[in-house]
Amino acid sequence: MNCRPEDMLVYAVTDRAWLKGESLKDQVEKALKGGVTFVQLREKNLDRRLFLEEAATIKELCDSFHVPFVINDDVEIALASGADGVHVGQKDMDVKEARRRLGPGKIIGVSCKTVEQAKAAEAGGADYLGVGAMYPTDTKSDTSQVTVETLKAICRAVDIPVVAIGGIRADRIQPLKGTGADGVAVVSAIFGQPDIEAAARRLKETAEMYLGRHRRRKTVLTIAGSDSSGGAGIQADLKTMLANGVYGMSAITALTAQNTTGVSGIFPVTPEFLAMQIDSVFSDIRPDAVKIGMVSSGELIRVIAERLSYYKAENIVVDPVMISTSGSRLLDEDAVGALKELLLPMAAVATPNIPEAEVLSGICIRSSEDMVRAAEIISREYGCAVLCKGGHRLNDANDLLYRDGGFCWFMGRRIDNPNTHGTGCTLSSAIASGLARGYSLEQAVERAKEYLSGALEAMLDLGSGSGPMDHGFQIP
Ligand SMILES: Nc1ncnc2c1ncn2[C@@H]1O[C@H](COP(=O)(O)OP(=O)(O)OP(=O)(O)O)[C@@H](O)[C@H]1O
Ligand SMILES: Cc1ncc(CO)c(N)n1
Ligand SMILES: [Mg+2]
């Protein structure tokens, strides 16, 4: 599925009729600042050259806000502008033909009024449905109304996200509560308002109030050590998960007596007790993703691998913690083999720092090229994606993701902050949070780096050593 329920929450459809002298770009930017989660460019009579120009402009803007962008009806403009997809009506191009032309990676939305139309659209490959008109609307005069009961029946009948559309305003959202709709698509309730940004924000708050509750909060389990100073380990993980919009849970592998200057003691739990913690969580609240941090011994690693395999855990992020920022060994040397053979093959992604990547790959890393080679060796050897983190480099904070034979760089501006305790724990937990919420690995890494940079830029300065970050920083 290329789009997620949360993308539908506030779906803005443009309408040139509301421009009133400002550009469409300015209007859409205000809507994006107000928090709209999806944008559709709808043009019915615009010259095609201008249509394409407008589409390319809005696409660039939406990309900068990480908001999906589709074109109404016109597949060719969608392809030419690089839009994320199209939205087609019942009288427009058939969804299967649209899929044939757009390919698997694009979003296709389909307008529906009945359960039969909805099921046919889903079967044809639609990624979401637009259902309406829920109320009388000026935007589309030739459309009949859909009842709340029909909307509810459609939401029950399909698994793909559903957005309600047609004459919707903030004061008309409450009747949609409990239908299962994932959000509302609006035109004049945003673009026809004097303060577009404020209108978008009010719609989002109202939609979250009445429609957000049925979308289950995503959950993430961290299996890691406790850092008494709160800057790394499960403490950093849980703070990071909260800040990244998921519900965090923890199974503790070891207690560490630790602060910003070092680790003065490690008290591992027994394998039996670690298994009990994992079982307690999975038997009651299934995690949508799992982050594995500090695991000090091979026997604890074996228990984790066995339990996660039993539960068929998904979206596993393995942070191969070996040495703390303060230089203390956190993984027994004889456990490296178990980590490689048992945990890496289960991982959606492993996130070694440079020293850890050297241990796992067996090569020295002195350059960007070495980072690529090391990540490739680990990825090919253990079958997982590998994000080789660049925090230990001097001039930048670029991280290298290697997966399926290809690689890409995530550029990071070097932040002049000596307090980097827990950066690795924080990044891997933020990645797990993104995977739990349905982002792709690349999107999850990008959002995680954005979060981490903000938490570093907050310049928290605690302790006499390399201090923790400000996890309370919220990304937009
Ligand atoms: N000074 C910095 N400025 C910007 N980003 C940084 C900085 N230091 C680290 N990072 C980023 O933080 C993330 C973690 O990288 P790092 O190499 O610090 O991991 P780590 O050594 O495993 O951390 P930890 O010591 O917490 O285990 C990476 O995305 C890296 O690019
Ligand atoms: C408990 C714990 N896990 C991970 C790290 C890595 O920084 C740390 N310092 N402490
Ligand atoms: Mg680390």
Per residue in 272-284, pLDDT (tens digit) is: 999 999 999 999 9
Options 130, 180, 390, 424, the catalytic residue: 424
Confidence of residue 391 (pLDDT cuts 50, 70, 90): confident
422 is catalytic: yes
Alpha carbons 35 and 149: distance in angstroms, whole number: 29
Options 423, 426, 449, 467, the catalytic residue: 423
Average pLDDT over residues 327-345: 90
State in Å: Cα 424 to ligand 2 middle.
8
pLDDT of residue 214: 47
State in Å: Cα 340 to ligand 1 middle.
22
Minimum-distance ligand 2 atom for the alpha carbon of 319: 4
What tokens were used for 112? 């529906």
Is pTM beyond 0.95? Reply is no
Alpha carbons 446 and 455: distance in angstroms, whole number: 14
State in Å: Cα 420 to ligand 3 middle.
10
Alpha carbons 7 and 406: distance in angstroms, whole number: 28
143 is catalytic: no
Ligand nearest to the CA of 389: 1
325 ligand 2 Cβ < 6 A: yes
Q: Atom 1, ligand 1: which residue's CA is nearest?
A: 415
pLDDT of residue 140: 65
420 is catalytic: yes
pLDDT of residue 370: 95
- 441 touches 348 (CB < 8 A): yes
- Choose one of 324, 331, 426 to mutate for the ligand 2 pocket test, by most ligand atoms within 8 angstroms of C-beta: 324
- Choose one of 222, 223, 227 to mutate for the ligand 2 pocket test, by most ligand atoms within 8 angstroms of C-beta: 227
270 is catalytic: no
Residue 84 assigned to a binding site? no
- Choose one of 294, 411, 417, 423 to mutate for the ligand 1 pocket test, by most ligand atoms within 8 angstroms of C-beta: 423
Residue 240 assigned to a binding site? no
Residue 443 assigned to a binding site? no
Find the helix packing angle between 368-382 and 354-361, rounded to 10°.
50
pLDDT of residue 209: 82
Rounded mean pLDDT of the chain?
92
pLDDT of residue 463: 96
136-193 pLDDT per residue, tens: 876 666 667 899 999 988 988 888 899 999 999 999 999 999 888 999 999 999 999 9
Confidence of residue 440 (pLDDT cuts 50, 70, 90): confident
Residue in 240, 234, 223, 228 with CA at minimum distance from that of residue 456: 240
- 8 touches 161 (CB < 8 A): yes
Task: Provide the ipTM.
Answer: 0.97
Which protein residues are within 6 Å of ligand 1, measured from CB? 232, 325, 353, 389-392, 397, 399, 412, 414-415, 417, 420, 422-425, 427, 449, 452-453, 456
Domains, the chain, ordered by start: 5-210 (3.20.20.70), 219-457 (3.40.1190.20)
- 86 touches 68 (CB < 8 A): no
pLDDT of residue 327: 76
424 is catalytic: yes
Residue 111 assigned to a binding site? yes
Minimum-distance ligand 2 atom for the alpha carbon of 423: 7
431 ligand 2 Cβ < 6 A: no
Residue 475 pLDDT > 70: no
Residue type, 428: S
Q: Atom 20, ligand 1: which residue's CA is nearest?
A: 424
Confidence of residue 212 (pLDDT cuts 50, 70, 90): low
Q: Atom 22, ligand 1: which residue's CA is nearest?
A: 424
Portion of the chain with pLDDT greater than 70, in percent: 96
Beta bridge partners of 255: 226, 267
Find the helix packing angle between 441-457 and 423-436, rounded to 10°.
140
Residue 473 pLDDT > 90: no
Q: For 177, phi and psi rounded to 5 degrees?
A: -60, 135
423 is catalytic: yes
Ligand nearest to the CA of 235: 2
Average pLDDT over residues 199-203: 94
State in Å: Cα 296 to ligand 2 middle.
11
Residue in 87, 63, 89 with CA at minimum distance from that of residue 77: 87
State in Å: Cα 101 to ligand 3 middle.
44
State in Å: Cα 458 to ligand 2 middle.
21
**Which of 81-90, 136-145, 225-234, 403-412 has the least mean pLDDT?**
136-145
pLDDT of residue 157: 84
Confidence of residue 326 (pLDDT cuts 50, 70, 90): confident
233 ligand 2 Cβ < 6 A: yes
Portion of the chain with pLDDT greater than 90, in percent: 82
252 ligand 2 Cβ < 6 A: no
161-175 pLDDT per residue, tens: 999 999 999 999 999
